[in-house]
Amino acid sequence: MTAATLSALLALSAGTLVSEDLAGVTAGFLVAEGRLALTPAVVAVWAGIWAGDVGLWIAGRFFRRTRRDHLVTRHPATAILTSRFLPGTRLAVYVAAGAAGVPFTTFAAWSALATAVWTPLLVGLSAIFGRAVDSVLHTYFGVAWFLLPLAVLLVWRGEAILRTAQAASSRLGRWEFWPAWLFYAPVVPWVAYLVATRGSRALFAANPGLEDGGFVGESKSGILSALPEPWVLRHALIQPGEAASRAEALRVQMSAPGWSFPIVLKPDVGQRGDGVQLVGDPEAARLYLATYTGPVVAQVYHAGPYEAGIFYYKRPGEARGRIFSLTDKQFPHVVGDGRTPLASLIRQHRRYRIQAPMFLARFSGQLARVPKAGERVLLGVTGNHAKGAIFLDGSDLVTEALTARIDEIARAVDGFFIGRFDVRYSDPGAFMAGRDLAIVELNGVSSEATHIYDPSRSLLDAYRTLYQQWRLVFEIGAANIRSGHRTQGLARLLRLSAEHVMGV
């Protein structure tokens, strides 16, 4: 194989990342002209397309996590094979496969098979009819005929392409919206260093009272049940089972004192706001329980209107703990002008257009509505950054009284030393006095001091905070080990990390 041939094959393989079909057609033309053999041309295009498919799966894993009970998780083979032959569906299906938790080995195998069927057809047919097609296109459109598809694309989807480009450029300039794998890349070596110097057991020992220290996969209901009742929102665990029995269990719970719609439903095990939904009536709750078939936490809804993330820690042996960080969470909203539809208000907003697909899907039935002048339209009600909430540094809300209250609550949870309380409150003054707070969740060692996502803070400051936070985790864990706590080690850490990231 000559250097020119190898270069052409590599170019075709790389070209699939720009346009799979165009790369396949080009390979067929080169085969028709005798410049490439059919087999290496097919293999080169197949390899590029398969690598691109895997890349979409990885993007789904890191950019957004959706519900696990999804069409692509129930019938992965059908979804992957079908989308390969239905133009316009591949991006959505393959990203959804990663986001919904289809195991890597399952996706990779079916994608390889689908591509192995598709690629020879694409390249072979282009090789057979390539010369005839090329001759017609040259006759009617001249030597630059290959620019015609680009022109059609720009006319047909020009506005959508522009919106996508704007969102991408905005995301690039706002590191708070970077994908997790990119943002955490500089943190991984630091955690690896701490594992090497403090020991992997120290990670789990930081919170010996929580499953795996609250690293990943912990039960929300289990942790909530350990909190003192006056300060935690009422909640109940709906166990897996038949849809009718789950709906009946919720109906019985709703008859208890203090329960009324709307309520919050969320998976008992979840991250980054996955599956959290505010439901307003029994029918919406029934549909939710039919969709999320695993254990679900039902929780009384606290209207706020304020929410905070309080990152707390206490070194073993110290008399009291401290508030390391307080995040003031702001809920996203747009204000109407009496002329602009809701969809345009979202797309025109410099921040919200970054997460526009999520907001547009959330308000799919209201996008054409024109809010009145001055009308405030709330775009989200959960205090989760991935769901649209804005995180600000709330250190000015920290007081001695609030610190004492959080410390009192934390010390009531046996074996808890470091993590983040997510709380709702109605009165800032009473909150700062430690009187008005309702705990939504308590997260363990893998939680963040989320004030780092304040748009006014620098990336360097965010890393400085994360480095300090992880150092505290390992210091506390090492101290607990010296006190006699015994936990899992490196094998457990690696397995949990693999399950969380790759879904294997």
**Mean pLDDT of successive 10-residue segments in the chain (504 residues)?**
75 79 79 81 87 84 54 70 72 78 82 84 73 54 49 54 63 81 91 90 89 78 91 95 91 94 92 83 93 93 95 95 97 95 92 90 93 95 89 97 97 95 97 97 93 94 96 95 78 62 46
- Sequence-separated (6 or more) residues with CB below 8 Å from residue 189: none
Superfamily grouping for domain 234-301: ATP-grasp fold, A domain (3.30.1490.20)
Whole-angstrom Cα distance, residue 155 to residue 447? 46
Whole-angstrom Cα distance, residue 29 to residue 83? 25
Could you tell me which residues are beta bridge partners of residue 335? 376
Q: What is the pLDDT of residue 130?
A: 58
Task: Give, for 430, the enclosing helix (H) or strand (E).
Answer: helix 428-432
Whole-angstrom Cα distance, residue 43 to residue 116? 9
Number of H helices, E strands in the chain: 20, 11
Q: What is the pLDDT of residue 138?
A: 52
Q: Is the dihedral of CA 476, 482, 485, 490 positive or negative?
A: positive
Domain with CATH 3.30.1490.20 in the chain: 234-301
Residue with tokens 């912990």: 218
Domain with CATH 3.30.470 in the chain: 180-233+303-329+386-502
Residue with tokens 């598809």: 149
H helices of 324-427, in order, are 342-348, 356-362, 400-411
Residue with tokens 């909150």: 431
Q: What is the pLDDT of residue 245?
A: 92
Q: Which CATH number fits domain 180-233+303-329+386-502: 3.30.60, 3.30.420, 1.10.15, 3.30.470?
A: 3.30.470
Amino acid at 155: V
Contact criterion met (CB below 8 Å) for 281 and 221: no
Contact criterion met (CB below 8 Å) for 321 and 314: yes
Torsion angles phi and psi, residue 185, rounded to 5: -55, -45
- Sequence-separated (6 or more) residues with CB below 8 Å from residue 357: none
Q: What is the pLDDT of residue 168?
A: 64
Whole-angstrom Cα distance, residue 328 to residue 451? 8
